[in-house]
A and B are shown apart, each in its own frame.
Chain A
């Protein structure tokens, strides 16, 4: 069964600290993996997108890694800011000849001053 599991479910960190969010998937055959940031009540905004051959991709203070062998990805946030408080969603797409995209439930990040 195609699944995307994220951990932790929620996380509280102090402003300025770093954190790492995890994503494990069983989606096959793998096409790409994306990380989105979603503010409460708003649509998700893309942070990174990685294909099978990419191990890491950065977008400012956000760095995503991908291990296609173990089917794991992480999103590392450096020097967190209050505005980083949001849900971070891992999305994995399968190349089945048709459209198949599986969303994780997200990690809720709270950055405190």
Chain B
């Protein structure tokens, strides 16, 4: 039973570029949430996708966008990268959205913006 997988593991981009991160949820899960975790901080909620729609969004600018595919996998896109976007990006999956369902996290993608 595969857990949550994310790709790539590490990524280095230049300021102003665009990046796409990918996530496959745990088998049986249909909801994907994305988080940004700066060094030494707790994860900050970016948005959640359920039934291929963005259901909830945290306090992140429109440069952050996403998508969910029919197979429940998801992408996080960040445009016009800033140095401050350097962080660990975590994907978490759960079943049928909502806060009451336990989330399983992927290993994360480490993004470095230079």
A residues sitting closer than 8 Å to B (CB atoms) are 4, 31-32, 34, 36, 41-46, 49, 51, 89, 93-96, 98-101, 103-106
Contact = CB atoms under 8 A, between A and B. Distances in A.
B55 A99 contact: yes
A42 B55 contact: no
| Residue with the greatest number of chain A CB neighbours at <10 A, chosen from B35, B42, B45, B105 | B42
Contacts of A106: 41-42
B25 interface: no
Interface of B: 4, 33, 35, 40-45, 48, 55-56, 88, 90, 92, 97-100, 102-108, 110
Instruction: Report whether over half of chain A's contact residues are helix, strand or loop; otherwise say mixed.
Output: strand
A-B pairs, 8 with minimum CB distance? A93-B99, A43-B105, A103-B42, A99-B56, A105-B42, A44-B105, A31-B99, A43-B107
Contacts of A41: 88, 108, 110
B79 to A, nearest CB: 24
27 contacts: A31-B100, A34-B102, A41-B108, A41-B110, A42-B107, A43-B4, A43-B92, A43-B105, A43-B106, A44-B43, A44-B90, A44-B105, A45-B105, A46-B103, A89-B42, A89-B43, A93-B99, A95-B99, A99-B33, A99-B56, A99-B99, A101-B33, A103-B43, A103-B44, A103-B45, A104-B42, A105-B41
Nearest to B50: A99
A4 B97 CA distance: 21
B107 A98 contact: no
Nearest to A39: B107
B39 to A, nearest CB: 10
A105 B106 CA distance: 19
Contacts of B100: 31-32, 51, 93, 95
Given A31-B100, A100-B56, A103-B35, 19 more contacts: A34-B102, A36-B105, A41-B110, A42-B107, A42-B108, A43-B105, A43-B106, A44-B90, A45-B105, A46-B104, A51-B100, A93-B100, A94-B99, A95-B100, A96-B99, A101-B99, A101-B103, A103-B43, A106-B42
